[in-house]
Each structure stands twice: as structure tokens, then as C-alpha cells.
Amino acid sequence: MIGRGLRVPSQAAWLALACGTLSFACATPPKPRELDSYETLRRQPAVPEAAKKSPDLVASADKLCEHAEEEWQSNDLDECRRDALMAQVKLKTALALHEQDQLKARIQVLSGQEAQAQEELAGLSKDLASENEKLSLLQKYVEARKTAESEKQRLSQQMTNAQEKAEAEQQRLNQELLAQQKIGAAQLALRTADTVDASKYAKAEYGTAGDMLAKAEADLKQNDYAGAQASAEVAEKSAQKAIEISKPLYEQAEQASESKARNDALARDAAAIMGVVVKLERRGDLQRLVLTIPELFSKRQPQIAPGHAGVLDAVAALVKRYPSYPVQIIGYTDNRGKSGELLAVSAARAQSVYSELASRGVEARRMMASGLGGEEPSFDNKTASGRAKNNRVDIVFLYH
């Protein structure tokens, strides 16, 4: 499975993308509204108390915000928005839990007041001789009870509303993530179509796929998640059709010995790099040369562990030596932890390697980074050694 979020533009769009990159390479884009919304939420007076109640949630939200800030500064706006949205959900959950505790405390106070009123009525009943005074005390007790019951019902409704609001936000986020996954699948299909020159051999289908993918991305920005999912599905199907039409034509054109020699040379040069595991595999119609760099990260850290500069230098040199191959960077973790958190860590790891290769002169437009969390383990997760090796990144060269 290939990750989400990026796609290699068609050959016709590469020049425009390169020119656009030069024009704003040194400029920071406007801060995404999702990040502004989180920072506004973080300034609420109730946040410090919420942090005492749910320190892990607030710390996780702040960590996601830091990632979002870094991704905004790095022009990774889609990753920035996603992390900022996740940070909002976690912080809102912590605030809701804090509010729930406050409501419970107020209910307890009211219950105590009701009990005190009952004790007061019982004590005064013994001392009061007048039936009128007894009636007055009884009326006060009844009113206090009604007031307490009314307040309890109001607070209970507030708790219900807060819970429903949190559930609605979680539902919305799930729909957005599903739309992003479908867009990622369409991007992958379109990039696969690029490997067989579909823009040349299946212009209509390739053009439809590109148009529908652009529509899906626009729908996602407008928060039309259902529309984004539908458009992405059409884009993926059109790209698959373009692949089906183009593949036999492309294979005929690529039967020249020069192409085979280049593929063989890539495999030989990759195998010569110390510290990587190289394998050639086929997934459907797509052939992949996979370079695995095991034990690249420590525990749940997204930053590359010290001591790997040499292997990254060699990998960057290999990617630059073979400029015709699209390159996919896939981050992984072991299988310990929540799937959502593992996906976020693996995506951050892929982005770290992406940045390292780009800093070594690899063209950014040739690479796409994604994370698969604990999926597709290359080593045994039942052992500490296997889990350490599964904290890795795969560098994948794509070709037919």
C-alpha cells in the first residue's frame, strides 16, 4: 500500500510546479485557519485546569500543534491542517472532561444544599409551635427541592450537549480522514499511470482522472467530504482505466535494452549501499525496488536517530543518479500503540527522511512521503529486536 497526501504532477505540470516552487520557496504561506483555531482554543482560561485533569490529552494536543507549526513553516499545509484538527479534537475533549467534572461538583454542592435544607427543616420543626411557621418552612423546603432538581436537570442537559458536540466533531473528523484516504488512493493511481506514460497513451482517461482529482481536493477544502470521496473514487477508476489502456503500449515502447540495463544498474547500485535491505517486488502491475533502512528511529520519536548520515548520503546519491524514477518514502512503526497515533508518527518519520533527502539535493517533486503505522511489518513484532527494526523507512523506486 502506498501512502496518502501527495502526487507527482503530470509531465505537463512539472514545469509549472518547478516555477511555482521558485517563486515562493522562501516564503511562509498564510497560517491555516485550523492552526489559528487551535491557538485561540488554547488561550481559553479553562485550559490550565483541563491540563491538570487530562495532562496526556493536552500534551498530545500541544505536540500535534508543534508538528502543525513545523509543517506550516515547511509548506506542508495538508499535514499541518490534519495535525491542527487532531490537536483541536484532543484539546476539546480535555476541556469537555474538565467541564464534566465541574458540573459533577456543582451537582454535589446542590445535593449537599438539599440535605442541609432537609436537616434545617427537621430541626426547626421541633422548635416551631405555630402550624403557620411549619407550613412556611415546608414551602421553603419544597421550593429548594424544586430549584435543586431544576438545576440538576439543567446541568445534566449541559453534559449531554457537550458529549454530543464532541461526538459530532469526531464524526466530522472521521469523514475528513476517509476523504483524504480516497484522495491519496487516487493520487497513487495517477502516479502509477505516470509510470506508463498514460498522459500520452490514454489522454482522455488520464485527463478525466486529473480533473476529478482536482475537484476532490477542492471539495475537501470546502469541507464537502461526501463530494470529495465521490470525486476521488471517479478519479481513481479513471486512472486505473488509463493504466489498463497504456500499459501494453508502454511496455512495447520500453522493451529496449537500455531500459532493462538501467533497471539492472539501479538494483546493483542499491544493493551496494551498506546498512540497507534491498528487495525487488511486484504489486499488481507495478514493480518496486524497495530499500529498507531499519532501526532508523528510537521508540516513538519522529526524528532520525544519530548515526545514519552516511546511509542517507548514499541513498540521496542513488536517487539523484537515477532521475527518471518516481520515489516513494514510506514511514513505519512497530505494532504497539493506537493505530491513529502510529499513523501520525510514521507519517512524521517519512517527512523527516523526505526533508533529509531534499536537503541533499534530491528534487522534491520526484518524492512523495506517507506513513503506514504498524502495517506491513518486515520483521517479527513479537521480539524487541524485531520491533526495533520495524521502526524504519522504506525508499521505493517505482517502475514497470
Tell me the pLDDT tens digit for each residue of 352-375: 999 999 999 999 999 999 999 999
User: Residue written as cell 422548635?
Assistant: 127
User: Does residue 177 or residue 212 have the better pLDDT?
Assistant: 212
User: Residue written as cell 512523495?
Assistant: 368
- Provide the 8-state DSSP code for 32: P
Q: What band does 257 get if pLDDT is binned at 50, 70 and 90?
A: low
Look up residue 51 and give its three cell numbers.
491540563
Q: Determine, yes or no, domain membership for 213.
A: no
The average pLDDT across 274-286 equals 83
User: Residue written as cell 407550613?
Assistant: 135
| Position 395 pLDDT exceeds 60 | yes
**Cβ-contact 216, 182 below 8 angstroms:** yes
**In this predicted structure, what is the pLDDT of residue 241?**
94
Last residue of a domain, one of 183, 200, 219: 183
Look up residue 247 and give its three cell numbers.
500499459
User: Closest Cα to residue 378, out of 330, 344, 340?
Assistant: 330
Domain that holds residue 361: 256-400
Q: Is 41 left (phi over 0), alpha (psi -120 to 50) or beta?
A: alpha
Q: What band does 227 get if pLDDT is binned at 50, 70 and 90?
A: very high
Q: Do 261 and 372 fall into the same domain?
A: yes
Spatial neighbors of 345 by CB under 8 A, at least 6 apart, are 300, 302, 331, 333, 337, 371, 373
- Phi then psi for residue 115, to 5 deg, are -65, -40
Q: What band does 128 get if pLDDT is binned at 50, 70 and 90?
A: low
**In this predicted structure, what is the pLDDT of residue 16?**
39
Q: Determine, yes or no, domain membership for 394.
A: yes
| Position 348 pLDDT exceeds 90 | yes
**In this predicted structure, what is the pLDDT of residue 256?**
53
| Position 8 pLDDT exceeds 50 | no
Q: Do 154 and 263 fall into the same domain?
A: no
Q: Determine, yes or no, domain membership for 237.
A: no
| Position 6 pLDDT exceeds 80 | no
CA distances from 355 to 121, 162, 329, 365, 392 (A): 74, 41, 11, 12, 16
**In this predicted structure, what is the pLDDT of residue 138?**
75
**In this predicted structure, what is the pLDDT of residue 1?**
40
Q: Determine, yes or no, domain membership for 63.
A: yes
| Position 398 pLDDT exceeds 70 | yes
Q: Is 319 helix (H, G, I), strand (E, B) or coil?
A: helix
Percent of the chain whose pLDDT exceeds 90: 53
Q: Determine, yes or no, domain membership for 109.
A: yes
Q: Do 79 and 168 fall into the same domain?
A: yes
Rounded Cα distance between 188 and 186, Å, is 5
Look up residue 256 and give its three cell numbers.
529496449
Chain Cα centroid distance, residue 355: 18
Chain Cα centroid distance, residue 372: 10
| Position 23 pLDDT exceeds 60 | no
- Phi then psi for residue 267, to 5 deg, are -65, -40
**Cβ-contact 392, 293 below 8 angstroms:** yes
Last residue of a domain, one of 160, 183, 206: 183
Mean pLDDT of the chain: 86
Q: Determine, yes or no, domain membership for 206.
A: no
User: Closest Cα to residue 68, out of 84, 51, 53, 86?
Assistant: 84
- Count of domains for the chain: 2
**Any idea how long the chain is?**
400
User: Closest Cα to residue 315, out of 291, 297, 296?
Assistant: 291
Q: Determine, yes or no, domain membership for 15.
A: no
Last residue of a domain, one of 165, 183, 201: 183
State the maximum Cα–Cα separation within the chain, in Å, rounded to a whole number.
Answer: 115
Q: Do 263 and 399 fall into the same domain?
A: yes
Q: Do 178 and 295 fall into the same domain?
A: no
Q: Do 155 and 51 fall into the same domain?
A: yes
Domain at 320, CATH number: 3.30.1330.60
Rounded Cα distance between 303 and 393, Å, is 12
**Cβ-contact 65, 22 below 8 angstroms:** no
**In this predicted structure, what is the pLDDT of residue 204?**
94
Spatial neighbors of 79 by CB under 8 A, at least 6 apart, are 5, 67, 68, 71, 347, 351
Q: HSE (CB half, 13 Å, CA atoms) of 290?
A: 19
Q: Determine, yes or no, domain membership for 325.
A: yes
Spatial neighbors of 49 by CB under 8 A, at least 6 apart, are 98
- Please provide the DSSP assignment of 323-380 as one string: TTS-EEEEE---S-S-HHHHHHHHHHHHHHHHHHHHHTT--GGGEEEEE-TT-S-SS-
Rounded Cα distance between 348 and 12, Å, is 30
| Position 245 pLDDT exceeds 80 | yes
DSSP count for the chain of H helices, then E strands: 13, 5
Q: Do 149 and 46 fall into the same domain?
A: yes
Percent of the chain whose pLDDT exceeds 70: 91
Sheet holding 286-293, edge to edge: 277-283, 286-293, 393-399, 327-331, 367-371
Q: What band does 13 get if pLDDT is binned at 50, 70 and 90?
A: very low
The average pLDDT across 220-232 equals 95
